[in-house]
Amino acid sequence: MYKQIGILTGGGDAPGLNAAIRAVVRTATGKFGMQCIGIEDSFEGILGETHTVKLSPKNVSGLLPQGGTVLGTRNRGSFVKMVDGKPVFTELPVCEALANLDILGIEALVAIGGEGTLAIAAQFHKRGFPVIGVPKTIDNDLAATEFTFGFMTAIDIATEALDRLHTTAASHDRVMILEVMGRNTGWIALHAGLAGSADIILIPEIPFSFEAIRRKVLEREAAGSRFTNIIVAEGALEVGTSETYSDRSELRLGGIGDIVRRRVEEMMGKESRCVVLGHLQRGGSPNAFDRMLGTNFGACAARALANGETGKMVALQAGKIITVPLEEAISNIKTVPTDGQLVRTARDVGISFAAPHEAELSEMIRVEGAH
The C-alpha atoms of residue 292 and residue 151 are separated, in whole angstroms, by: 13
Amino acid at 331: S
In the chain, the N- to C-terminal Cα span, in Å, equals 58
Catalytic residue among 13, 41, 102, 139: 139
**For residue 67, is it left (φ>0), alpha (ψ between -120 and 50) or beta?**
beta
Q: How far apart are CA 12 and CA 35, in angstroms?
A: 26
Strands of 175-180's sheet in order across: 200-202, 228-233, 175-180, 272-276
Q: Which residues of 59-91 are buried (b: 16+ CB within 10 A; e: fewer)?
A: ebeebbebbbbbbbbbebbbbbeeeeeeeeeee
Catalytic: 139? yes
Angle (deg, nearest 10), helices 151-172 and 187-195 = 50
CB atoms within 10 A of CB 281: 26
Secondary structure of 104-172 as H, E, C letters? HCCCEEEEEECHHHHHHHHHHHHCCCCEEEEEECCCCCECCCCCCECHHHHHHHHHHHHHHHHHHHHHH
Q: Which residues pair with 203 in a beta bridge?
A: 206
Identify the CA nearest to 273 among candidates 170, 168, 171, 176: 176
**What is the amino acid identity at position 5?**
I
The Cα–Cα gap between 304 and 329 comes to 16
Contact between residue 304 and residue 323 where contact means Cβ atoms under 8 Å apart: yes
C-alpha angle with apex 129: 298 to 308, nearest 5 degrees? 55
Angular region, 114: left φ>0, alpha ψ -120 to 50, beta rest? beta
Write out the catalytic residue numbers.
Answer: 139
